[in-house]
Amino acid sequence: MRETWKEMFAFFQGYYNNGLIIFLYMASLLIIMLLGREKLRKLIGWPTLVIMFLVYNPFFYRYIWQKCFHYGYWRVFWLFPVVIVVSVAVLIVVDRIKQPKRQGIFLLIILILICGNSKNVFSKQLFYTNTQNIYKLPQEAIDVSDALLQLDTEPKVVMCSQLYSYVRQYSTDIKMMYGRNIEGYIDGWNERTAEMASNLQQLEKADWGRVGELMKQEQYKYIVIPQNENCSEEYMKQFSFILLKQVDGYDIFEILY
């Protein structure tokens, strides 16, 4: 039982990360149950407690949530109506403050507290970045894709890890030896692709002879790697790689059969 609580708490901490919001949520639930009218308790308070009982319950966790969701148990926390409960509780308190000016001040204080809780989701230090194009993909991915499509209508490419998640979101005419599956997603990897990926992890130490062999075996004609002084045009010629284009800090090589 202790193990179960520990696991659940780890997910809980990972989700709320000791933020102010969880304390606000608990306080709000208390406010609704103690200060809210009976109709509000029946509409918001008790259903919230029902959901919390179902979600944060060691028995259900062990025999239902873990079996259904595995590592994704934290997604069940989406069922907690955090934003609804906090908002309702704030308005219960506002309702009790009769003077409009004081209501406004209280509301302002709460909003400032919420804003101070953690960073704004739209701030560039968190999730968002500069938009470079209407596809909202890295511009290098689009430029490299366009360059490849100029060379071939359906180019078969070994793509570097910086771009392989994005290139096929622009054009599915580009075929790749591996993409995100090399990280264990989608359909996983095989020995061939694992060997290729490990060679390209550190370009200075790559066995280009073996890379060329694997490409020829699988009939992949092009390889895209970040520009690197250890992989100059002259050096790569030794392994039958011809530099075709340089695009946005990436080199496109063709293997000669």
Partner 1 sequence: MWLTSIILGILLLGILPIMLGDRIWKEIYREQNDTLSQIIGRYLVGTIVMWAIFQIIAVPLILVKASFSMAVILWEISIFSTLLLQSVWKVKKHRHMYSHICIKTHRSKTEKLLFVLMCAVIICQCVACVIGTQYDEDDARFVVNALEAFDHDSMLLINPATGEYVGTWVGELAKDVPSPWTFYIALIAKILNVHPTIIAHTILPGILVAMAYGCYWLMAERIFKKNFSYCCMFVLIIAVINMHFTNSEQTQAVFLLTRIWQGKAVVAGVMLPFLCYLMMLLYQLKTKKYIYYLVFLTDIACCLLSGMGIFLSAIVIGSLGLYIAIIQKKLDVLLKVALSCIPTILYGIVYIIF
Give CA–CA dist 198/202, Å, rounded.
8
243 counts as binding partner 1 under rule CB under 8 A? no
Residue with Cβ nearer partner 1 (189 or 226): 189
Site for partner 1 in 118-177 (CB under 8 A): 118-122, 126-132, 134-138, 164-166, 168-177
In the complex, what is the shortest distance from the CB of residue 240 to partner 1, in angstroms, rounded to a whole number?
23
Residue with Cβ nearer partner 1 (56 or 239): 56
Site for partner 1 in 44-73 (CB under 8 A): 44, 46-47, 50-51, 54, 68-69, 72
Residue with Cβ nearer partner 1 (17 or 232): 17
Say how many CA atoms lie within 13 Å of 27 toward its Cβ: 11
Q: Which of 144, 194, 191, 137 is nearest to 166 (CA)?
A: 137
Find the binder of partner 1 among 93, 94, 151, 243 (CB under 8 A). 94
The residues near 69 (Cβ < 8 Å, ≥ 6 apart) are 75, 76
Structure tokens at 249: 């800090």
Find the binder of partner 1 among 35, 97, 110, 243 (CB under 8 A). 110
